[in-house]
A and B are shown apart, each in its own frame.
Chain A
Amino acid sequence: MRRVGLGVLGALLLAAPFWVWNPYYVHILIMAGIFTILALSLNLLLGYTGQLSLGHAAFFGIGAYTSALLALRLDWPAWAGFVAAVLVAGLAGYGVGKVSLKLRGAYFVLVTISFAGVIYLVSVNWMELTNGPLGLPGVPPFEVAVAGLFELSFRSKPAFYYLVLGVAALAYLVCRRLVSSRIGRAFIALRENEALAESVGIDGTRYLVLAAVVSAAMAGAAGSLYAHYTRFVSPEVFLFTYTVTMVIMVVAGGKGTLAGPVVGAVLFTVLPEALREVTSWQWQMLLYGVLLILTVFFLPKGVVPALETWLRERRAIRP
């Protein structure tokens, strides 16, 4: 039953560019994919280790700038820039984690906020490197080419959609394998009972830093895709709004579940756009806010856990 459901979902996603004819809708799907990667990445920290990163946009932005700068200044091919973006963001996650995860909790929240603030200021003020508030236009499209042999371009929207879908699927797989392993069990143990976790030999700091590295690297991947998709990077990528959106997606979708951030990301990317269709712009964000409050009020654990409970209860009634 579950397999059939997943198969149908997979087929629908793979065929999306064929039945979603409006390019604007494909754009929304691409953004939903990028946010899925971001939400998965935040969920690894917030959902599984219980540590809240309120500067997650910084890792996203670092990925975007790394890709853009390497492509524009050093003519790196996009795939190499993508790999570099993942590594640089992961390294930043390591630094932030090392500094703050010895103390954890509120300190981690504060350090991540400050880190995002500092990185934003650097991006605005280091004119020579980042071109300041004007940003970096003309980031090349994502293309993979082996000289003379073949060329694969992700310039068109449908092609880029498949690239994002692939990376999102990979991010999901990484999360799934991690959380069902000894590493994931250590994350959960630290979230639920740190003293007990340490007493059975789990090195708290080490595992939290590891979570921060993987999470930041994943956000960096999303940033790189974003840079090559919009072809323009500006300090706006570091804005707190991005972080808030990620937190909303993770919490409303269901933190600490694998499907939660995916559902949350798709729902809260599509929702504002759907509201734009049905109401005027004055009402769009207002309705969005009301719907968000209702979700949190009636489904405090998120959409996915609520759905799971509902299914389980239904199954229990019908033998």
Chain B
Amino acid sequence: MSLRVEEMAVHFGGVAALADVSFEVEAGRITSMIGPNGAGKTTAFNVITGFLRPLRGRVLYEGDPLTGLKPFQIAERGIVRTFQKTNVFPQTAVLDNVMIGLHLRERAGLAAILLRRRRVREEEATLAALAEEILAFVGLAHRRREPAGALPFGEQRLLELAIALAARPRLLLLDEPASGMNPAEKTAVMGLIRRIREQGVTVFLVEHDMRLVMGISDRVIVLHLGRVIAQGAPGEVQSDPQVISAYLGGR
């Protein structure tokens, strides 16, 4: 067991965005969270990664509570996320975007940096090589010098993934990684996510594209109106009458 959410509740004004939601994300697997718009998927992500405080409930990662920690502290524990809306450092070169993602792997302190010790220069060189490697992994090596904001949309999404990977996640949360991508790009992303899992990273994703979700997930959690209405293997969830009615609008 890797991540465990217990009776999480979030209210916006009088509206319950999440009402006592509990679920688990198993280590080493790909878990997807699906549900109609407004079901509370991104809200759940925001609570897990510390961007939002829940009204009730708690989040445990490998047994330790995350609730109350700040986003950067959660990242330090190996939980890294991407965002639903495209999110890069737009004016910075693509390679430097990934270098920023490597922040937690760097050790150089202020004094060493000001004296430009050999250790600092070596660390810089190692990390630049690592950043190149990560860029090559997502297929953006040819863009390394361009400002991130100048990249086409699909490539910006890949860059987001590269930035998140640079932070060396053990649990990677992807918020609609394929939204706005064309079918070819989606297939490429599916391949990437599989390869990320093969490297031992637990993947938890929110996605609307059913072909993608059903194609790569080991487990699917269905959220509707702030509640978990079904969870299980993709096949089980697909045939669940409650899920069908949530998506088709029946009763």
Q: A196-B163, A200-B166 are in contact. Are A210 and B88 (CB under 8 A)?
A: no
Number of interface residues of B (CB under 8 A): 34
Identify B99's interface contact among A174, A185, A193, A203, CB under 8 A.
Answer: A185
Are the C-beta atoms of B89 and A193 separated by less than 8 Å? Answer: yes
Identify B114's interface contact among A177, A199, A202, CB under 8 A.
Answer: A177
Instruction: List chain B residues, Cβ under 8 A from A186.
Output: 100, 103
Q: Once the chains are docked, how many angstroms separate the CA of A197 from the CA of B75?
A: 10
Identify B103's interface contact among A177, A178, A193, A200, CB under 8 A.
Answer: A200
Instruction: List chain B residues, Cβ under 8 A from A188.
Output: 89, 92, 96, 100
Q: Give the Cβ gap from B185 to chain A, nearest Cβ, in Å.
A: 21
Q: Which residue of B is nearest A213, CB measured? A: B110
Q: Which residue of B is nearest A180, CB measured? A: B124
Q: Once the chains are docked, how many angstroms separate the CA of A177 from the CA of B116?
A: 7
Q: Counting CB contacts under 8 A, is B108 at the interface? A: yes
Are the C-beta atoms of A195 and B87 separated by less than 8 Å? Answer: yes
Q: Once the chains are docked, how many angstroms separate the CA of A193 from the CA of B149?
A: 12
Are the C-beta atoms of B75 and A201 separated by less than 8 Å? Answer: yes
Q: Counting CB contacts under 8 A, is B113 at the interface? A: yes
Are the C-beta atoms of B101 and A200 separated by less than 8 Å? Answer: yes
Q: Counting CB contacts under 8 A, is B71 at the interface? A: yes
Identify A185's interface contact among B71, B103, B164, CB under 8 A.
Answer: B103
Which of B71, B83, B90, B164 has the largest number of chain A CB atoms within 10 A? B71
Are the C-beta atoms of A182 and B108 separated by less than 8 Å? Answer: yes
Q: Counting CB contacts under 8 A, is B91 at the interface? A: yes
Q: Once the chains are docked, how many angstroms separate the CA of A70 from the CA of B91?
A: 45
Q: Which residue of B is nearest A189, CB measured? A: B100
A 171-222 contacts with B by CB, 8 A: 174, 177-178, 181-183, 185-186, 188-189, 192-193, 195-204, 210
B 120-163 contacts with A by CB, 8 A: 120, 124, 163
Q: Once the chains are docked, how many angstroms separate the CA of A181 from the CA of B100?
A: 10
Q: Give the Cβ gap from A202 to chain B, nearest Cβ, in Å.
A: 5
Are the C-beta atoms of B83 and A178 separated by less than 8 Å? Answer: no
A 248-293 contacts with B by CB, 8 A: none
Q: A177-B114, A192-B90, A195-B51 are in contact. Are A202 and B99 (CB under 8 A)?
A: no
Q: A192-B90, A196-B83 are in contact. Are A181 and B108 (CB under 8 A)?
A: yes
Are the C-beta atoms of A204 and B113 separated by less than 8 Å? Answer: no
Instruction: List chain A residues, Cβ under 8 A from B80.
Output: 199-201
A 81-100 contacts with B by CB, 8 A: none
Q: Once the chains are docked, how many angstroms separate the CA of A199 from the CA of B58?
A: 19
Q: Give the Cβ gap from A305 to chain B, nearest Cβ, in Å.
A: 11
**Number of A-B pairs, beta carbon distance below 8 Å:** 86
Are the C-beta atoms of B104 and A200 separated by less than 8 Å? Answer: yes
Q: Once the chains are docked, how many angstroms separate the CA of A186 from the CA of B109?
A: 13
Identify A196's interface contact among B70, B89, B96, B104, CB under 8 A.
Answer: B89
Q: Once the chains are docked, how many angstroms separate the CA of A200 from the CA of B72?
A: 7
Instruction: List chain B residues, Cβ under 8 A from A195.
Output: 51, 71, 83, 87
Which of B75, B96, B124, B166 has the largest number of chain A CB atoms within 10 A? B75
Q: Which residue of A is nearest B81, CB measured? A: A199
Are the C-beta atoms of B49 and A199 separated by less than 8 Å? Answer: yes
Instruction: List chain B residues, Cβ under 8 A from A196.
Output: 83, 87-89, 163
Q: Which residue of A is nearest B173, CB measured? A: A199
Q: Once the chains are docked, how many angstroms separate the CA of A210 from the CA of B109?
A: 12
Instruction: List chain B residues, Cβ under 8 A from A198.
Output: 70-72, 75
Q: Give the Cβ gap from A301 to chain B, nearest Cβ, in Å.
A: 11
Q: A182-B106, A192-B90 are in contact. Are A200 and B75 (CB under 8 A)?
A: yes
Instruction: List chain B residues, Cβ under 8 A from A200.
Output: 75, 80, 100-101, 103-104, 163-164, 166-167
Are the C-beta atoms of B164 and A210 separated by less than 8 Å? Answer: no
Q: Once the chains are docked, how many angstroms separate the CA of A189 from the CA of B166?
A: 14
9 nearest A-B pairs in the assembled complex, by CB-CB distance? A201-B75, A198-B71, A201-B104, A200-B167, A182-B106, A192-B89, A181-B113, A189-B100, A203-B72
28 A-B residue pairings within 8 Å (CB atoms): A181-B120, A181-B124, A182-B108, A185-B96, A188-B96, A189-B89, A189-B103, A195-B71, A196-B87, A196-B89, A196-B163, A197-B89, A197-B100, A198-B75, A199-B49, A199-B72, A199-B75, A199-B81, A199-B164, A199-B167, A200-B75, A200-B100, A200-B103, A201-B72, A201-B76, A201-B104, A201-B167, A202-B72
| Residues of A participating in the B interface, judged by any CB pair closer than 8 Å | 174, 177-178, 181-183, 185-186, 188-189, 192-193, 195-204, 210
Given contacts A177-B114, A199-B164, 14 further A-B contacts (CB under 8 A): A177-B116, A181-B108, A181-B124, A182-B106, A189-B100, A192-B91, A193-B87, A197-B89, A198-B70, A198-B72, A199-B81, A200-B80, A202-B100, A202-B103
